[in-house]
Amino acid sequence: MRTSYHEELDSIIDRLVHMAELAEAAIKTASEALLTADLTKAETVITNDAELDRLHEEMEYKCLSLLALQAPVAGELRIIVSAIRVVFELARMGDLAAHVAKIARLRYPAHAVPPQFQASFAEMADIAIEVIDVARLSLHDRDANQAKRLVEIDERMDDLRADQFTTMLAEDSDISIEGAVDVALLGRYFERYADHAVAVGRRVIYIITGQVPEGEDWPNA
């Protein structure tokens, strides 16, 4: 009976890794749709978002069932409680990818990203893929050192976001109101994507060590 229980705990981590893979695929495809004005890819992301939402509900139910039926302790409890939060973070990443895809679809056949911001958003997309990949590996390997890297990667995303606002607000900026709105929204979506990945990393650290990372605020612990 207990062996089956521990197999279920292992399966929770496996499912979280799978959700991270889906989130990574979503942001990659959404970014491609955005940067190349590809309507087919945008539609794919929007349609597939329902799968992450379904897994979110499924995993929450499974975790709550284990809490109610197995009375987990110590490390077991950390895994289950953290998993409930991680599935939320991963589902939100999928939602953000869908938001990016919807803006790409809205502006099609034009590009939603003004030409002067193409390089910035291409770099944001690269960082977004890197950050979810690191989060996925930290989950898969239960690697706290990988998880700690996420804060540094997130800072690069924040810097790009700040640079975008500097460019938009410059005296010689010729960006349209529509373009400024799109850049502001898209920049926020990519920034939040990295924030959610950092939150996943913090949960991984908690699962492994039982400690909140030093110097980190953790209002949702």
| The pLDDT value given to residue 75 | 79
Q: In the structure encoding, which two tokens stand for residue 70, read together?
A: 């197995």
73: exposed, middle or buried (Cβ count in 10 Å: 0-12, 13-18, 19+): exposed
| The pLDDT value given to residue 221 | 38
Q: CATH number of the domain at 2-209, please?
A: 1.20.58.220
Per-residue pLDDT of the chain (221 residues; tens, 9 = 90+): 455 767 888 889 999 999 999 999 999 999 999 999 999 999 999 999 999 999 999 999 999 988 888 777 777 888 899 999 999 999 999 999 999 999 999 999 999 999 999 999 999 999 999 999 999 999 999 999 999 999 999 999 999 999 999 999 998 889 999 999 999 999 999 999 999 999 999 999 998 888 765 545 544 43
| The pLDDT value given to residue 139 | 92
| The pLDDT value given to residue 150 | 94
Inter-residue contact 194 to 153 (CB < 8 Å): yes
How is the chain split into domains, by residue range? 2-209
| The pLDDT value given to residue 70 | 76
Rounded CA gap, 3 and 23, in Å? 31
Rounded CA gap, 71 and 93, in Å? 30
Name the residue with tokens 């911001």.
117
